[in-house]
Structure 1
Amino acid sequence: MLVVSPTRRVSARLVAQARRELPKVCHLCGTPIDMLLPRNHAMSWTLDHVTPRAIDISRAEDISNLRPVHRSCNSSKGKRLHINTIKPKSSRRW
């Protein structure tokens, strides 16, 4: 069993793998992520733990638990579990 500190960030190796292999679409809002934006930009690429580290630390370094998201979407989610990842579109125009 992998033991990871709750405050430790995802390893650089895993981040590099995720950047190569995962889609470039935010799994929370469903819109594309511009990979050329600076790291501190609100719409830049970052990783989200589907099951937050606060809930299950053993999955912190598991790539199947990571999804690409915009930095602002990830900040809005916080430590909550997010059941519906892409926001449904309204069936009618208001």
Structure 2
Amino acid sequence: MATERNGHGHRAYRRKAQHLRNKQLPCAWCGQPIDYTLPPNNAMAFTADHTQAIANGGHLYNQELQPMHRKCNATKGATTQPNIRPAG
């Protein structure tokens, strides 16, 4: 699927991701705190997740982002809800 790349969406993404970083919120997937000082390639580092994946019709502009660990974001993939397993 081709995505229009006029630059506006990427700048908006970076701006919104920085806004999330400044808030120092916990991970939206697992609820654990995020160490915002970790390097970007660390599995527990901050990443901004699209609430609606681009692969599922989301857009680069007018997007909603949520803070996640890089590992949680990779686990989530293009799904929209956490995979909650029953206890026990």
Structure 1 length-normalised TM: 0.67
Q: Is the 8 A contact 1:44 1:71 kept in 2?
A: yes
Q: Is the 8 A contact 1:37 1:43 kept in 2?
A: yes
- Structure 1: any 5+ residue segments left out of the alignment? none
| RMSD between superposed Cα atoms in Å | 2.9
Match in the other structure for 1:32: 33
Higher helix share: 2
Match in the other structure for 1:43: 44
Structure 2 length-normalised TM: 0.71
CA distance in 1, matches of 2:76, 2:26: 16
Higher relative contact order (CA 8 A, sep 6+): 1
CA distance in 1, matches of 2:86, 2:65: 24
- Structure 2: any 5+ residue segments left out of the alignment? none
Q: Is the 8 A contact 2:25 2:33 kept in 1?
A: yes
- From the superposition, tell whether residues 69 and 13 of structure 1 become closer, same or farther in structure 2 (CA, over 3 Å): same
How much does 1:54 deviate? 1.5
Q: Is the 8 A contact 1:24 1:35 kept in 2?
A: no
Match in the other structure for 1:71: 70
The correspondence of residues 1-94 of structure 1 with structure 2, limited to 5 A, is 4-5=4-5, 10-11=10-11, 12-21=14-23, 23-58=24-59, 60-62=60-62, 65-82=64-81, 84=82, 90=87
Task: Name the count of aligned residue pairs.
Answer: 82
Q: Secondary structure at the match of 1:27?
A: coil
Q: Is the 8 A contact 2:44 2:71 kept in 1?
A: yes
